[in-house]
Amino acid sequence: MTGDRGGQGGLSRIREILQENKDELGRIYKVKSLGLFGSYVKGEEVDASDIDILVEFHENPGLLEFIALEYHLSELIGVKVDLVMKDALKPAIGERILREVLPI
């Protein structure tokens, strides 16, 4: 992702990468759905920004599987990913995230 971090071009490319790999992520990690939120969706990302991804699973993973998915996504996209489980959202912040999430 180097050189194309910002703006809608960066967001479009991230969405494209996630869409292209969605079936594989479902098979390997039992991912049910993915969505983007945070600075990239708002167009407020900077060079140090990570990519915030909301994930929902068919069955909840163990800690190692969750970390493996976060690493896998970071490698695919080329930018550090902060992975958040939909089931783990706290009510106050969860409402904000769910309002701004961009489904994949």
For residue 54, being part of any structural domain is answered with yes
Domain count, the chain: 1
CATH number, domain of 89, equals 3.30.460.10
Q: Averaged over 61-80, what is the pLDDT?
A: 96
Range of the domain at 51: 7-103
For residue 19, being part of any structural domain is answered with yes
The pTM of the full predicted model, rounded to 2 decimals, is: 0.85
- Write down the mean pLDDT value for the chain: 89
- Proportion of the chain above pLDDT 70, given as a percent: 91
For residue 76, being part of any structural domain is answered with yes
Contact in structure between 46 and 17 (CB atoms under 8 Å):
no
For residue 2, being part of any structural domain is answered with no
Contact in structure between 69 and 55 (CB atoms under 8 Å):
yes
Which residues participate in catalysis according to the annotation?
50, 52
For residue 23, being part of any structural domain is answered with yes
- The candidate with the shortest Cα–Cα distance to 101, out of 56, 31, 46, 34, is 34
